[in-house]
Amino acid sequence: MKTLSFSQELIQAAQPYLKANMAHPFIQAVINDRLDSKALNYYIQQDLRYADAETVVQANLVAKSTTIEDQRMFADQLSTHLGTVNELFKSLTENTSDSWTDQRYQPIQPVTFIYRSHILSPIAQGSLLDLLTPFEAGNWLYIELGKYLADTKKVKPDNAFYSWVKAVQDPHLAGQDGISNRFLKVIDREAANASPEHLEQVKQQFVRSILLEWYFWDAAYKQLTWDNWGHHVLNSDGGDLL
């Protein structure tokens, strides 16, 4: 029997969480073109703040690389990220009642804070493998969700999320030689020199990124804020906030 590569093991472990993301009411609302404008606004505002953390991660991927080839790859992708992220969210904003200037630099809300901390934490002492793997999990999930949404054939040009679905299917990201597959190859290369214990820790970080993506959709769907969390603590009846 053919042995799975480490990146294949990561993807296999993430499958239940991928299915859960697909089933989330936010994603189902996108499919049925019933996404609340407040949920879309929240998503845009919070994902912009998450994208700021992605910028920091990608800059540190350059710094943690030990070859010129890796440094160029990560630097080129950082440049692409900086050149496209605002345009995507501007296009999404066109489908809301808010102006673009109102979307940028909104307060970082609880789930966004937790997810940002998750991908930023390996910077201090983690290896290239530690930093890249939980970051790549988000790329992989968005590509898979983009495929899923496209395959429904329900997300038409007049759907508020149409530009998002198109963006995450771009060959530069999702193609056979796209950046996501190139990142997975780096992960496999780095994993070859890691201990089984280290690999298990890294796998958990990959899976947790997919888990946090579910909570990110959930927070947007419910527009959760720090005030909600504070109110829940001070007035809790024992129910679940999330």
In whole angstroms, give the CA distance from residue 193 to residue 130: 13
Does the structure show a pLDDT above 80 at 237?
no
- CATH class of the region 9-234: mainly alpha
**Which two structure tokens, joined as six digits, stand for 31?**
């499919």
**Which two structure tokens, joined as six digits, stand for 165?**
């679905």
User: Which residues, 6 or more positions from 52, have their beta carbon under 8 angstroms from its beta carbon?
Assistant: none
In whole angstroms, give the CA distance from residue 88 to residue 182: 23
pLDDT digits (tens, 9 = 90+) for 142-189: 999 999 999 999 999 999 999 999 999 999 999 999 999 999 999 999
How far is the CA of 45 from the CAs of 209, 227, 239, in angstroms? 19, 17, 27
Domain ranges of the chain: 9-234
How far is the CA of 130 from the CAs of 40, 103, 117, 123, 199, in angstroms? 31, 31, 14, 8, 9
Per-residue confidence band for 220, with pLDDT thresholds at 50, 70 and 90: very high
Say if CB 161 and CB 169 are below 8 A apart.
Answer: no
Q: HSE-up of 198 (CA within 13 Å, CB side)?
A: 14
pLDDT of residue 1: 62
pLDDT digits (tens, 9 = 90+) for 30-58: 999 999 999 999 999 999 999 999 999 99
* Percent of the chain clearing pLDDT 90 (strictly above): 84
